[in-house]
Amino acid sequence: MNLETATATQVVTGRNLVAGEWDNNGESFNSVSPSTGKVLGTFVSASEDAAQTAIDAARRIFDTTDWSRDARRRSRALTELADNLEARIEEVATMLSRENGKLIAETNWEVSTAVDWLRYSAASAIIQDGGRSAEVSPGMYFQTGQEAMGVIGIITPWNSPVILSLRSIGPALAAGCTMVVKMPGQTALTNTLLAEIIAETTSIPAGVVSILTEAGNAVSPRSWPRRAWT
């Protein structure tokens, strides 16, 4: 495929998926091909307010729904997400090659591997052993159990954004967490495709996963007070 003529795979405008809604508010930037220097499209850099909205939604879902307690539900959601990504491997891989500069064979491998990782995560959601128990002395038992941590923040680098995002998203969903994912501005249009696929996965409740593309550092959890995440 000639990437310069594959206009059908282009995303003209990058968007942020915030608490289950598309958010186009913020400063606009260009997505530029590192191979040709041509502008591929534009995207909106997510703001601190958008991040807070995403965090609040993730916390609300974690605290008020059975998402963290229903392992079968999460396994089905991860399987659906894997199916949806697999159906768009070529589209995502092509855009990633245009924005990232990798060979198409490398981006195909990355997206295909991400599908496999999601399927592994779907299985792990229901194969967990549930913890350990032992009689440590006569009549005294010690038991450990597994539970989701809550709302987590994921920061993805630009060099392999699809696999490095889903390598974290998959296990976090399997464990029952909700999350906000900060993705790099260098691959904003690819990020939007990933956000679309998540939004199309109806078995993942809106707001469980927010995808925010950012050109700066306002969304970085390191720069935020701890209360934003707890």
> Sorting pLDDT into bands at 50, 70 and 90, what band is 12?
low
Measure Cα distances from 21 to 63, 84, 221, 227 in Å: 20, 19, 21, 23
Gap between the Cα atoms of 54 and 219, Å rounded: 11
Write out pLDDT tens, residues 126-164.
886 566 677 777 888 777 667 788 999 999 999 999 999
Burial of residue 165 (CB within 10 Å: 0-12, 13-18, 19+) is buried
> Sorting pLDDT into bands at 50, 70 and 90, what band is 226?
low
pTM value > 0.75: yes
Residue 5 has pLDDT above 60, yes or no: no
What's the rounded mean pLDDT across residues 74-94? 98
